[in-house]
Structure 1
């Protein structure tokens, strides 16, 4: 297909999607798939490699280990249907009039987007500008945006001021995402984000973890908490037996919203 008129950002998104789908891919195949010269793909791979999004190989690329997260705008371009199902499912767990803490992330954003379509008279406390914006569009919602140091990669504020602000409030439920989920619990690549998630969990009566299936069996840099701190996991696919067993033993309810 002739996609030579794509912008660099659009090419990068397509490349990331192809590499993640195939785990590894050749420059020649990418060039044919996207419809540009091999040299253009080679330059794109260098930039994506420098950003930590892929591992460059001779003549191609492989997916990067979970030592870095793609920027939130890149993450939002992948697993779109899966995140939408999770967003609808998690929104259904929230009751009218509740106080809800929501941390930053592409999957938690989908939860907020689905909540914003409901008349629930919610109070939303978030460190995500995207979540605040979409939730704020609902006139029945009261939205409290945390202070802190803005992280453009995450579209969220992080840091001591953020954690201190969160600890001032009580909430009915915390809705958080994660970079990885194993039997040891959810984990995150960014320490500042993990600290905010822990603060939200500690100030809420229950915690809901929203994760796509690609996070299963992965461990990122920092453990957020144990599975016994999570009341509900909302996902798009059935996890392997060991993870399901660990969740059941921890008393965590698993909600799987699979596609057709």
Structure 2
């Protein structure tokens, strides 16, 4: 396979990864991210459309309809470099003796991996089985696991039991993710996770959202909470337009 063909395969893989995270992608954004022309992206989308992998739209493409979004393991493998960088920034906000709350999700999992590799003297409350297991590798981290109803696809627990359990704790910092963010607030495709997320944010002095750029301006099933419900957003690039203005007006500090 020649270099041109290998590059095309990489682009197609990246486009499909983006559609695993979001229902739609835009030609302009893909061209900017992949460092190619819009015409190249349009050809890629045409080929993927002919293969039945995507549905073309004016200015972009949408994913083929599915009954549910990919589970956290599939999402964890997308945008790995971006999410690793976000996790590294987030880990710098953690100090020995902190009490942390960690939600579920692929970007939060990257943070858990960063903490497990070297953090000391931490107490962590989490709703995620996978996050708990990763943190448990480090004997210097005490893990408190929320009770509740298990969602096997997300590897986490939800429900009033989990929310009531979280209400008992006073955390230094809460780290949460989301399926999207708009000027209206954090978006979530799972109502149970949305409720747990809001409770987590309410129990911490410092409230931090971890989102890669693919989540910008993405609407989901429910608006979990307004932008004023968190203090810091860590991303791999700054948002633009109405979202950037809304974050500034809400007093959210951006780290990218």
Show the 5 A alignment for 1:152-163: 152-163=152-163
Match of 2:139 in 1: 139
When residues 64 and 212 of structure 1 are mapped into structure 2, their CA distance, relative to the original with a 3 A threshold, is farther
When residues 237 and 199 of structure 1 are mapped into structure 2, their CA distance, relative to the original with a 3 A threshold, is same
Conserved in 2, the CA contact under 8 Å of 1:83 and 1:107? yes
Match of 1:87 in 2: 87
Within 1, Cα distance between the matches of 2:111 and 2:245? 26
Within 2, Cα distance between the matches of 1:108 and 1:145? 15
Q: Deviations over 1:13-37 (max 9, x none)?
A: 889438566694546875xxxxxxx
User: What secondary structure is seen at the aligned counterpart in 2 of 1:123?
Assistant: strand
Show the 5 A alignment for 1:33-48: none
Within 1, Cα distance between the matches of 2:201 and 2:93? 16
Within 1, Cα distance between the matches of 2:141 and 2:161? 24
Show the 5 A alignment for 1:188-207: 188-207=188-207
Match of 2:230 in 1: 230
Within 1, Cα distance between the matches of 2:138 and 2:45? 43
Conserved in 1, the CA contact under 8 Å of 2:18 and 2:78? no
Structure 1's unaligned 5+ residue stretches are: 2-12, 31-41, 46-53
When residues 180 and 130 of structure 1 are mapped into structure 2, their CA distance, relative to the original with a 3 A threshold, is same
User: What secondary structure is seen at the aligned counterpart in 1 of 2:119?
Assistant: coil
Match of 1:184 in 2: 184
Match of 2:243 in 1: 243
User: What secondary structure is seen at the aligned counterpart in 1 of 2:198?
Assistant: helix
Q: Deviations over 1:152-193 (max 9, x none)?
A: 211111112111111121111110000111111111010000
When residues 15 and 217 of structure 1 are mapped into structure 2, their CA distance, relative to the original with a 3 A threshold, is closer
Within 1, Cα distance between the matches of 2:67 and 2:232? 26
Q: How many residues matched?
A: 221
Within 2, Cα distance between the matches of 1:130 and 1:66? 25
Within 2, Cα distance between the matches of 1:18 and 1:177? 17
Conserved in 1, the CA contact under 8 Å of 2:183 and 2:242? yes
Give me the TM-score of the superposition, normalised by structure 1. Answer: 0.76
Conserved in 1, the CA contact under 8 Å of 2:183 and 2:247? yes
| Two-structure CA RMSD over aligned residues (Å) | 2.8
Match of 2:128 in 1: 128
